[in-house]
Amino acid sequence: MIDTSDYRVKPGSRVKPGSRVKLAKWQTDDDGGLSEDAARAESARLRERLFDLQELLYAENRHALLVVLQAMDTGGKDSTIRAIFSGVNPQGCSVHSFKAPSNHEAEHDFLWRVHACVPPYGQIGIFNRSHYEDVLVVRVKGLAPERRWKKRYTHINAFEELLHDEGVTIRKFFLHVSKDFQKKRLQKRLDNPAKRWKFDPDDLAERKRWDDYRDAYEDALGRCSTDHAPWYIIPAETRWYRDLVVTKVLVEALESLDMKYPEPDFDPSTIIID
């Protein structure tokens, strides 16, 4: 049996509200000092606990969990979802990806399409990219005037506080990878015929804006990490460690809700099943 009792999510992985984030100071390839076998064993245990908590969340129907995943291209959002949520009850879980808004969506405020996808009580909702694109890609590509997107940090914080006050627990993860790691991942996509469909030549144009996206992420992480909707910077190049850290944070978030199975509105001892 592998002993993982000394494992802890590093305090530095959670972004302190109002802090100035410098991503260059955060490791991208950390393994927490664990062996791969130890990390995978602990992840398996935590996933079982996550599955149990999802059932409790669904049964109690008083809370929801919103998981936000953001990353540079090739940061591993899809693989994180597969690794952690494969096996959860699909009736209680949804995944939404936010790409460029449609014409209809663009005719509304930037949070309109996002609010409609927030999970209802009893559900886990996963955002693969999110409302943060409106202070990331919109900022970097100049898709809105600066005076407009700068106000969105305040709007986002107010939106997330509203969700929290109404029973939605929010955990946000920035999957942190290096520019060199991204280069290797893009090359692997090109080299593998089964993965080439994921490669978009436009990714290379986005890669040239790496520093601009880094700056945009640093501002978003620092301005929008709050006590009720914290950001976590996750070293994402070692996937088995990434999965362990994210799963542990989610389990702890659900456990903090102190959920209970609802009591039946009848006396079970009086029921006789022939």
Cα 163 to Cα 64: distance, rounded to the nearest angstrom: 9
- Total H helices, total E strands in the chain: 11, 5
Strand order in the sheet with 124-128: 93-97, 124-128, 64-71, 168-176, 231-235
CA count, 13 A, side-chain hemisphere, 153: 18
Q: Phi and psi of 232, rounded to 5°?
A: -120, 130
Domain boundaries, the chain: 13-257
- What's residue 10's pLDDT? 61
Superfamily of domain 13-257: P-loop containing nucleotide triphosphate hydrolases (3.40.50.300)
Residue type, 111: L
- What's residue 12's pLDDT? 59
Per-residue pLDDT of the chain (274 residues; tens, 9 = 90+): 344 444 555 655 899 999 999 999 999 999 999 999 999 999 999 999 999 999 999 999 999 999 999 999 999 999 999 999 998 999 999 999 999 999 999 999 999 999 999 999 999 999 999 999 999 999 999 999 999 999 999 999 999 999 999 999 999 999 999 999 999 999 999 999 998 898 888 889 999 999 999 999 999 999 999 999 999 999 999 999 999 999 999 999 999 999 999 999 898 889 999 8
Q: Residue 154, by phi and psi: left (phi above 0), alpha (psi -120 to 50) or beta?
A: alpha
- What's residue 87's pLDDT? 85
- What's residue 72's pLDDT? 96
> What does 12-62 look like in DSSP terms, one character per residue?
GGBPPTTPPP-GGGS-SS--TT--HHHHHHHHHHHHHHHHHHHHHHHHH-S
**Contacts by residues 198-203 (CB-CB < 8 Å, ≥ 24 positions apart):** 203/73
Helices (H), 65-224: 77-85, 103-106, 112-115, 137-140, 146-149, 152-165, 179-191, 202-207, 210-223
Cα 204 to Cα 210: distance, rounded to the nearest angstrom: 10
- What's residue 198's pLDDT? 87
Strands 64-71, 93-97: pairing is unpaired
Q: 144-157 in b/e burial notation, b at 16+ Cβ within 10 A?
A: eeeeebeebbebbb
pTM: 0.94
